[in-house]
Amino acid sequence: MNLEPEHDILDVAIRDSITGRIAASAAGVWSRAWRSSALGRFVTARQELWQRLSGAQRIRAIAITGAVAMIVDRAMALAVPAEPLSAVLPSLVLVACIAAAVFAEPLARAVGQLRR
């Protein structure tokens, strides 16, 4: 059975329907608007910066972000009455994030070996 797009009857029927044509037209307008918007340019610039980071730098950035999020969670938890065991998961995540940041180089090498 050949399921290439030009031979898929359902795909052709959807694309040729009025709803399919409207959706395709709206997607084109959205795509052009996104590329020319300030937010689109900002996101594209950040994406390019992210692509230039090494594997260890990416792991470290994600780990630091997670650690900061857990610290903020614990700081905000001080404003409400404490529930039993409410600090266990955030504390474990904080420790894991710190460990990932410290061991970013070996983790990046291990990920690189897994991808081969």
Q: HSE-up of 36 (CA within 13 Å, CB side)?
A: 6
Which of 52, 72, 94 is where one domain is finished?
A: 52
Residues 44 and 57 in one domain: no
Residue 10: its pLDDT value, please?
83
Residue 6: its pLDDT value, please?
58
Residues 38 and 60 in one domain: no
33 CB contacts (<8 Å, ≥6 apart)?
40
Structural domain that includes position 12: 1-52
Q: What is the mean pLDDT of each run of 10 residues along the chain (116 residues)?
A: 63 84 89 90 94 96 97 93 89 97 96 89
Residue 5: its pLDDT value, please?
53
The pTM for the full model equals 0.68
Residue 46: its pLDDT value, please?
94
Helix and strand totals (H; E) in the chain: 6, 0
